Amino acid sequence: MAVTAEQPKVDLREPPSWRRTKNRIATALMVLALVLVMIPLGFVLYTVISKGASTISWSFLTSSIPPQVALANQGGIGPAVLGTIEITGLATLMAVPLGVLGAIYLNEYGGKGVLARLIGFMADVMTGVPSIVMGLFIFSIWVLHFGFSGLAGAFALGCLMLPIVIRSTDEMLKLVPDPLREASYALGATKARVTLTVVLPAAIGGIVSGALLAVARAAGETAPLLFTILTVTAANPNVFSGADTALPSQIFVNASSPYVGAQARAWGAALTLIAIAFILMIAARTVTARFTRYSR
């Protein structure tokens, strides 16, 4: 009964067409773009590692900075490592809480009000301020009165980080779906509760990533430090007063020196800086993985 006439074969293959060609061209372009992006990145990494790896050792990371004439295997960059950690850490402590709070205001409280729009606009403008201008700004309002210090450097870096933290946090908070907020309100939560217990936890992964990008960017900034910490070779454990040093400005000084030993130490310092940023990224990913374990 069920015997039917043989069905005609259905051709489900993609017909050769312009669409197929477009697909191939687009794929090729994307692969090319990826390769083009990877080339400078790979080249930078390769150069820094090949020139800096031989210098790196525990004593290089911890010993004091020798005179520039010292040979490549002498001395180290200890004060600069300490300075970078202190100054960037201090800048992070200033910029991240302030930036996250600012973004919470923009997104949860300010609405479309005049103040919120003004702050948002100012943050955008601040993103475009060249870092050397930020350094000059801190120089004129702080250094001229209180002298060079790691603190002044942290102010300059903090000013650079602030708009990045505000903008990235703002974007992350915008992504939190309103139904989540409504669910919390419907249980009788106040606005502060909703923000603290629903909105922030839902966005924490992105907020930490954004803050980290800001930290990594600030840790590598040289220009704002030139006017604020002076860049000396002597160790200065007190970040709040006295001229200080940091990796980027130490790299700048050493790399522009005519002595081969100093140049080698600059490569080593560059590799150290990259490694610090890398370690920070991994640490932050591990921490956020714990926070976001319920969001998938």
Partner 1 sequence: MEEPVQNVVATTPLPKPAALQQPRPPGAPVSDTLRAPVFDTKNVSIYYGSFLAVTDVSLTIYENEITAFIGPSGCGKTTVLRTLNRMNDLVPSARVEGDVNYRGVSVYGPDVSATAVRRRIGMVFQKPNPFPKSIYDNIAYGPRINGERKRTKLDEIVERSLRQAALWDEVKDRLNKSGLTLSGGQAQRLCIARTLAVEPDVVLMDEPCSALDPIATAAIEDLMREIKSRYTIVIVTHNMQQATRISDRTAFYSVLRDEKSDTRTGVLVEYDRTENIFQNPRDSRTQAYVTGRMG
8 lies in the site for partner 1, by CB under 8 A: no
* Minimum CB–partner distance for residue 281 and partner 1 (Å): 23
Binding-site size for partner 1 (CB under 8 A) equals: 25
CB closer to partner 1 out of 167 and 181? 181
Residues 275 to 294 in contact with partner 1, rule: CB under 8 A: 292-294
Q: Which DSSP state fits 13?
A: S
Stretch that binds partner 1, among 1-9, 73-81, 84-92, 187-195 (CB under 8 A): 187-195
Helices (H) and strands (E) in the chain, counts: 13, 0
- 64 three-class SS: coil
Q: By CB under 8 A, tell whether 116 contacts partner 1.
A: no
Q: List the one residue from 33, 39, 122, 187 that touches partner 1 (CB under 8 A).
A: 187
> Least distance from C-beta 188 to partner 1, angstroms?
3
Based on the shown chain and the rule CB under 8 A, indicate whether residue 193 belongs to the binding site for partner 1.
yes
| Region binding partner 1 by CB under 8 A among candidate stretches 28-36, 102-110, 173-181, 267-275 | 173-181
Among 198, 211, 269, 284, binds partner 1 (CB under 8 A): 198
Give the whole-angstrom CA distance, residue 212 versus residue 281.
7
Q: Establish if 177 lies at the interface with partner 1 (CB under 8 A).
A: yes
Residue 89 makes contact with partner 1 by CB under 8 A = no
Beta bridge pairs of residue 242: 149
Site for partner 1 in 25-64 (CB under 8 A): none
Q: Is 180 in the site for partner 1 (CB under 8 A)?
A: yes
Report how far residue 144's alpha carbon sits from residue 43's, in angstroms, rounded to the nearest whole number. 41
18 binds partner 1 (CB under 8 A): no
- Three-class DSSP category at 229: coil
> Which is closer to partner 1, CB of 6 or CB of 178?
178
Cα 278-282-285 angle, rounded to 5 deg: 140
* SS3 category, 53: coil
Are 102 and 93 in contact by the 8 Å Cβ rule? The answer is: no
Return the residue of 137, 185, 240, 259 that touches partner 1, per CB under 8 A.
185
DSSP designation for 292: T
- DSSP for 78-141 reads HHHHHHHHHHHHHHHHHHHHHHHHHHHIIIIISTT-HHHHHHHHHHHHHHTS-HHHHHHHHIII
Q: Which residues, other chains included, contact 176 with Cβ-Cβ below 8 Å and sequence gap of 6+?
A: 198, 199, 202, 203
State yes or no: residue 296 binds partner 1 (CB under 8 A).
yes
**Of the residues 10, 186, 258, 290, which one makes contact with partner 1 according to CB under 8 A:** 186
Q: Which residues bind partner 1 (CB under 8 A)?
A: 111-112, 177, 179-190, 193, 197-198, 201-202, 292-296
